[in-house]
Amino acid sequence: MSALRAAAVLLLSLIVPTCTGEGGNCSCDISNSRCDEFGVCRCDPGWDGERCDRCALTPGCVHGSCEQPWQCTCASGWAGRFCDKDLSICSRQQPCHNGATCVMEDSGDFSCLCPEGFHGPTCQRRTGPCYLNRSPCKNGGQCEDGDGFAAELTCRCLAGFTGRRCETDVDDCTMKPCANGATCLDGVNRFSCVCPAGFSGRFCTVNLDDCASRPCLNGGRCLDRAGGFRCVCRPSFTGAACETPLRGREPGWTTLGWDGGGTSERSAAPTSSGGNSSRHGDRLLKVTVSERRGGLSEPQLIVLLVLAAVTLGAVVLTAALVLQGHCRNCGHAPCWTSLTSSRRSRQRAQECHISFLNAAEPEKKKLNVV
């Protein structure tokens, strides 16, 4: 470790100005710095340089110098806190317009003495309609007259206002931004929507979940709707919230239908013989008929048609085979080849019928003999 320390001290002595010792033997400016144990100058705040003999300027100082830290002493021809104001601006740049006189001030700024009929920081504005009429624009509108050189003034309105003098508030509800029957309230360059029950959001487009509070009773299923809900009740309950049991109805009436939505349509008719109610002893039995509508779907209809076609084909084929067998027994050609003539068909049918009867008589005789 001692060898490493000695090497570090030797390297620093070659690169950085060293101190020859303590007190008066140190080469650093002892009033602005000190020597550390390695002989390196450590500057006080506000001083800089190898020997800590250079003061630091005020941050932002442009044309200045210092004798003490954080000073900004302006050079000749410059003024201001940061020495950034040119004292010869009136003679070199002539910033004043329309024949105005430029005057330098002690702070380093300049001012313009405007001639009659002109005004403004550099006398660039003419005494025009806006200056004479004291800006007739309303609702914060800006008066413009081309720096006084225009014959007539105009008003540049703020957002939300219109008109020659910005006197008219724009109706922000013209485009009907509120949805679902909400009420639009016009404001200054804005609008607001008063949403109906069941909706929220800036434009009333968010449908609130009316089933969040679980309004359906007795195991009913809640269906959320736009601005409301619908309860699908169990078969034994009815009502808007499925709160009414069906057994609480008057005896002697029949329920002919149930829409399953918390409400039921009831068609009542007095019970009579042959109706939907009957008596067992002295008790009246109530019958609830659920009316359901149904029909064949398209795939079922196609299958039915295919089966009907297959059945019809089988019937036709069977009839043709039977007819061909009878015709062969008669000793004639197949029957379908002779169907071109209706007369021949009738004759052959009669012959086949007679031959069939003649063939049947010996059988009857045999049976009688036996």
pLDDT digits 0-9 by tens, 136-182? 899 999 999 888 888 888 999 998 899 999 999 999 999 899 999 99
Return the CATH number at 213: 2.10.25.10
> Is position 6 within any domain?
no
**Residues near 354 by beta carbon (within 8 Å), at least 6 away in sequence:** none
Radius of gyration of the chain (CA): 57
Cα gap 175→191, rounded to integer Å: 11
Domain boundary among 45, 61, 86: 86
The values of phi and psi at residue 191, to 5°, are -150, 165
Task: Say what the pLDDT of residue 49 is.
Answer: 83
> Is position 64 within any domain?
yes
Task: Say what the pLDDT of residue 265 is.
Answer: 36
Same domain, 218 and 290: yes
Domain boundary among 28, 57, 86: 86
Say if residues 51 and 42 touch (Cβ distance below 8 Å).
no
Same domain, 264 and 309: no
For residue 50, give its domain range: 15-86
Low-confidence ranges of the chain (pLDDT < 50): 1-4, 6, 8-24, 250-293, 333-341, 352-370
Specify the long-range contacts of residues 353-359, CB closer than 8 Å, at least 24 apart: 355/329, 355/330, 356/326, 356/329
Cα gap 326→32, rounded to integer Å: 142
Q: What is the dihedral of CA 341, 343, 344, 347, to 10 degrees?
A: 160
Specify the long-range contacts of residues 292-301, CB closer than 8 Å, at least 24 apart: none
Task: Say what the pLDDT of residue 20 is.
Answer: 43
> Is position 276 within any domain?
no
Could you give the 3-state DSSP secondary structure of residue 169?
strand
Q: Closest Cα to residue 21, out of 10, 31, 34, 2? A: 34
Say if residues 347 and 355 touch (Cβ distance below 8 Å).
no
Q: How many Cα atoms are found within 13 Å in the side-chain-facing hemisphere of 106? A: 0
Same domain, 62 and 77: yes
Whether the CA torsion 248, 254, 260, 265 is positive or negative: it is negative
Tell me the β-bridge partners of 185. 192
Task: Say what the pLDDT of residue 316 is.
Answer: 92
Task: Say what the pLDDT of residue 302 is.
Answer: 92
Same domain, 62 and 75: yes
Same domain, 290 and 218: yes
**Residues near 332 by beta carbon (within 8 Å), at least 6 away in sequence:** 338, 348, 351, 352
Is 0.75 topped by the overall pTM? no
Same domain, 261 and 322: no
Residue owning tokens 């206002």: 161
Same domain, 221 and 258: yes
Task: Say what the pLDDT of residue 350 is.
Answer: 58
> Is position 360 within any domain?
yes
> Is position 32 within any domain?
yes
Task: Say what the pLDDT of residue 364 is.
Answer: 44
Amino acid identity, residue 258? W
Task: Say what the pLDDT of residue 148 is.
Answer: 82
Task: Say what the pLDDT of residue 346 is.
Answer: 59
Task: Say what the pLDDT of residue 133 is.
Answer: 76
Q: What is the pLDDT of residues 75-103, one digit of tens each?
A: 988 888 899 888 888 888 888 988 888 98
Length of the chain: 370
Same domain, 290 and 221: yes
How distant, in Å, are the alpha carbons of 119, 158, 168, 177 from that of 155? 20, 10, 12, 29
> Is position 31 within any domain?
yes
> Is position 134 within any domain?
no
Domain boundary among 86, 104, 136: 86
Query: What is the total count of domains within the chain?
Result: 3
> Is position 165 within any domain?
no
Say if residues 47 and 53 touch (Cβ distance below 8 Å).
yes
How distant, in Å, are the alpha carbons of 30, 248, 258, 286 from that of 252? 120, 12, 18, 7
Task: Say what the pLDDT of residue 308 is.
Answer: 93
